[in-house]
Amino acid sequence: MAHYGFLGLGIMGRAMAANLLKAGHKVTVWNRSVDKCAPLVELGATVGDTPRQITAECEITFAMLADPDAARAVCSGADGVAAGIGGGRGYVDMSTVDDLTAQEIAAAVTAAGGRFLEAPVSGTKKPAEDGTLIILAAGDESLYRDALPAFEIMGKMSPFLGAVGQGARMKLVVNMIMGGMLTAFGEGVALALESGLDGEKLLEVLANGALGNPMFASKGALLLKENYPTSFPLKHMQKDLRLALQLGDRLGQPLVTAATANEIFKRARAAGHADDDIAAVYTAIHEKKCK
């Protein structure tokens, strides 16, 4: 069995690392808040002192970090990933960042003698727990092949997309579409309820027509109850929308719907829902409930 490193044990990373352990692999973990390592230690993980130590010891180290700033910070510095990588060892950053950040981290890792693969994931808490994520890989193709056994444990699909940056771009496009769909869905639910329609009946009609999809099925009940247990933190979706808009600006591609969705997510975030599930964007849509 392989010896993997895993950096970042939030909602997603904790579940992904757990699946590697349950499959029988040796896993050394690290997290800024050390207490988050405890559930994985119970499953057999060891705890590393620094990202540098883990990348120096493990043939492949995976990371699942919150945003571009966190991804860059973990890579750099005397105790960072780049300081420990070398000898052709691999670093697979599964965080959702922009393409320029992915390319910056790739340059640092390869300059230090390591191999780099970006591999952001499409999926939230339950797919991470179930090992059914979609993994969007790009970068060093030899590292992609070496990481495939782990990808097959953590996900159900892991296409190779080419050069570094393509994985980040694909993930931002996917999440931009998701954010726009969720705001439109929230507006539809709000209008239905204000019109006196039965919310459950609306969900039933949607589920059986062309608009039926897993996101509406899972989030619809949360909207009707106005209860938002976190599967995908709202602050991370707003970050992804912001990064998608920045990409659009660089390419000269108008993104009017995405820009509107971003403003709605910003409003929900400002109202105190940053750490709630993305379904909490409904609070910024159903304004009569917010006043």
pLDDT at 290: 46
d(CA 158, CA 85): 24
Query: Per-residue confidence at 129, pLDDT binned at 50, 70, 90?
Result: very high
Contact 23, 48 (CB under 8 A): no
235 is a catalytic site residue: no
d(CA 72, CA 272): 27
Q: Please tell me whether residue 247 adopts helix, strand or coil conformation.
A: helix
d(CA 115, CA 192): 52
DSSP 60: E
Please say if the pLDDT value at position 176 is more than 80: yes
Q: What backbone phi and psi angles, to 5 degrees, belong to 78?
A: -65, -30
pLDDT at 71: 97
Domain boundaries defined on the chain: 3-164, 168-290
Question: Average pLDDT, stretch 124-141?
Answer: 97
In CATH terms, 3-164 corresponds, of 3.40.50.720, 3.40.50.150, 3.30.470.20, 2.60.40.60, to: 3.40.50.720
Residue of 26, 126, 171, 239 marked active site: 171
Sequence-distant (≥ 6) Cβ neighbours of residue 211 within 8 angstroms: none
Question: Average pLDDT, stretch 100-129?
Answer: 97
Question: Average pLDDT, stretch 225-231?
Answer: 94
Class at the top of the CATH hierarchy for domain 168-290: mainly alpha
pLDDT at 291: 45
Model-wide pTM > 0.85: yes
According to DSSP, the β-strands at 115-118 and 138-139 are: antiparallel
Percent of the chain with pLDDT over 90: 98
Angle formed by the axes of helices 11-22 and 141-154, nearest 10°: 90
**Beta-carbon count within 10 A of 194 CB:** 10
Q: Which two tokens stand for residue 67?
A: 């945003």
